[in-house]
Amino acid sequence: MKFKKNEDNYLAKKRLTLPLCAAENRMSPFSKIPLQKDYQERYIMNGINSFSIEDNFIGSEHLYEVYKLVSEQCSKLFSAKYADARTLSGMNCVTSLLMSLTNIGDKIMLSTGSSGGHPSMEYVCKRLGLEIIDMPYNYEEFDLDYERIYDVLVEEDIKYLLYAPSDIIMVPDYNKLKLPSHTLFLYDASQTLGLIAGKQVANPLESQINCVLFGGTHKTFPGPANGLIMTNNEEIAKELDENISPKYLRNTQMHQVVSLLYTLFEMEKFGEEYAKKILEYSQGLGIALAEWGYDIPFVNKVPTQTHQLFIRTSQDTMDTIFSNAFRNNITLNKKNKRLFKNYGIRLGTQEIARLAWQEDPIEQIAIIVQSLQYSNQDIQKKIKKLEIPETLNFTFSLSSLDSLKNKRL
């Protein structure tokens, strides 16, 4: 009974929540179908290239077909020659990748927390015995310091460049990113994976860069909390394929992998339209908040190239906004780092862009966010007026499942 009450309270709160957190999204009922199936209890060893029926469990050949379908979809969406969906989350993805490719003592250039890099990466790299060199960053342009990066990679003879942005409003320009022949670019695109699939931001796999594109699949890519690794480098693909499973993983949570496959089908059909809506909302909200007087950084006359928005504030204003948001069921993040000129708020539009609004919500959302910096505002009244939808856009109806039989699922 205690759990049922807690579950009811949780679901009631979610229905009243305005989701502006850049790190979460909402899966469709369609993508959740495999989570209720038998796949969870089943094992498959090895990767798509190293699979052997003699070394596997009965029925694993059918799970192998899922791997092949994931690979086909990633080829369509990401131009990836190799795709691996065995890892269990974004963090498990990067740890499995680094354990598979690196050796103790290897040098790795890493995006720092102050410039928006994921804070866990430093801990992981240190634990694996890697020598960390901070990645140069251009704080004025919210972008990589391309020339300095190249110089340091050459001077220090660095083997890996791990760019893992948690806070990102400008995406890398791969025409400017020059790497020495001995350096591999590891791009944790957890934040922007859906925007890449939707063809709205540049894809490093379509550049000349020697790279691995990877990340969690539950932010701008609206799938389960899975990991996805892709590369066009055959040698790197072989290392990943043979090392991740069964060395570092055994049960690869196949229900999650099939759920990811369903989301890949969704993104093939709706991904471009969805990604465009994300950017329409993030840029529109940034412009609206700037007009309300918030300090929104603009680069090349736009507030963002991604789903994220930065609001730079004082410490007191940051704390007030966060406190009011928490009290009124508005999800967002407060930030204390140089990227925000010390203090600020991060917003994301990937989840609100999925909701089936009856009319454009951005003006009303801007009013709500503007109100958060003040006390004694009737924010709940504004949220009620907004009428947050429960249904989603950019997905198949459940009756569409039959059509997927043609894809050999």
Identify the residue with better confidence: 397 or 265: 265
Secondary structure (3-state) at 264: helix
pLDDT digits (tens, 9 = 90+) for 189-206: 999 999 999 999 999 999
Q: What is the pLDDT of residue 185?
A: 99
Give the domain extent around 110.
29-266
Q: Report the distance separating Cα 256 and Cα 364, nearest Å.
A: 36
Query: Do 227 and 374 reside in the same domain of the chain?
Result: no
Helices (H), 102-203: 120-127, 146-156, 193-197
Are the C-beta atoms of 341 and 312 separated by less than 8 Å? yes
State how beta strands 184-188 and 18-19 pair: unpaired
Q: What is the pLDDT of residue 85?
A: 97
Tell whether 405 is covered by a domain. Answer: no
Confidence category of residue 406, pLDDT binned at 50, 70, 90: low
pLDDT digits (tens, 9 = 90+) for 241-282: 999 988 999 888 999 999 999 999 999 999 999 999 999 999
Average pLDDT on 75-88 reads 97
**CATH number, domain containing residue 339:** 3.90.1150.10
Instruction: Examine the pLDDT at 401 and tell me if it is beyond 80.
Output: no
pLDDT digits (tens, 9 = 90+) for 146-174: 999 999 999 999 999 999 999 999 999 99
Of residues 259, 271, 198, 193, the one with CA closest to residue 22: 193
Query: Do 89 and 163 reside in the same domain of the chain?
Result: yes
Query: Do 286 and 141 reside in the same domain of the chain?
Result: no
pLDDT digits (tens, 9 = 90+) for 116-152: 999 999 999 999 999 999 999 999 999 999 999 999 9
Phi and psi torsions of 214, nearest 5°: -150, 175
Tell whether 408 is covered by a domain. Answer: no
**Tally of domains within the chain:** 2
Tell whether 382 is covered by a domain. Answer: yes
Instruction: Examine the pLDDT at 310 and tell me if it is beyond 80.
Output: yes
Domain boundary, last residue among 266, 291, 309: 266
Average pLDDT on 94-102 reads 98
Domain boundary, last residue among 266, 287, 307: 266
Q: What is the pLDDT of residue 46?
A: 79
Cα 51 from chain centroid? 28
Predicted model pTM: 0.95
Q: What is the pLDDT of residue 8?
A: 87
Tell whether 397 is covered by a domain. Answer: no
Of residues 161, 163, 162, the one with CA closest to residue 143: 163
Supply the angle between the helices 60-78 and 254-291 in degrees, to the nearest 10: 30
Q: What share of the chain is helix, strand, coil (3-state, %, to 5)?
A: 45, 15, 40
Tell whether 402 is covered by a domain. Answer: no
Average pLDDT, the chain: 94
Q: Report the distance separating Cα 234 and Cα 212, nearest Å.
A: 11
pLDDT digits (tens, 9 = 90+) for 316-339: 999 999 999 999 999 999 999 999
Q: Report the distance separating Cα 97 and Cα 47, nearest Å.
A: 13
Query: Do 88 and 221 reside in the same domain of the chain?
Result: yes
Q: What is the pLDDT of residue 108?
A: 99
Tell whether 107 is covered by a domain. Answer: yes
Query: Do 196 and 283 reside in the same domain of the chain?
Result: no
Are the C-beta atoms of 57 and 43 separated by less than 8 Å? yes
Average pLDDT on 81-95 reads 97
Query: Do 200 and 128 reside in the same domain of the chain?
Result: yes
Q: Which residues contact 205 (CB under 8 A, 6 or more apart)?
A: 78, 79, 80, 211, 213, 230, 231, 232
Tell whether 75 is covered by a domain. Answer: yes
Domain boundary, last residue among 251, 266, 281: 266
Query: Do 186 and 316 reside in the same domain of the chain?
Result: no
Query: Do 238 and 159 reside in the same domain of the chain?
Result: yes
Query: Do 141 and 280 reside in the same domain of the chain?
Result: no
Query: Do 259 and 277 reside in the same domain of the chain?
Result: no
Query: Do 248 and 368 reside in the same domain of the chain?
Result: no
Query: Do 198 and 81 reside in the same domain of the chain?
Result: yes
**CATH number, domain containing residue 136:** 3.40.640.10
Confidence category of residue 400, pLDDT binned at 50, 70, 90: low
The CB density around residue 156, as the number of other CB atoms within 10 Å, is: 12
Q: What is the pLDDT of residue 405?
A: 58
Tell whether 141 is covered by a domain. Answer: yes
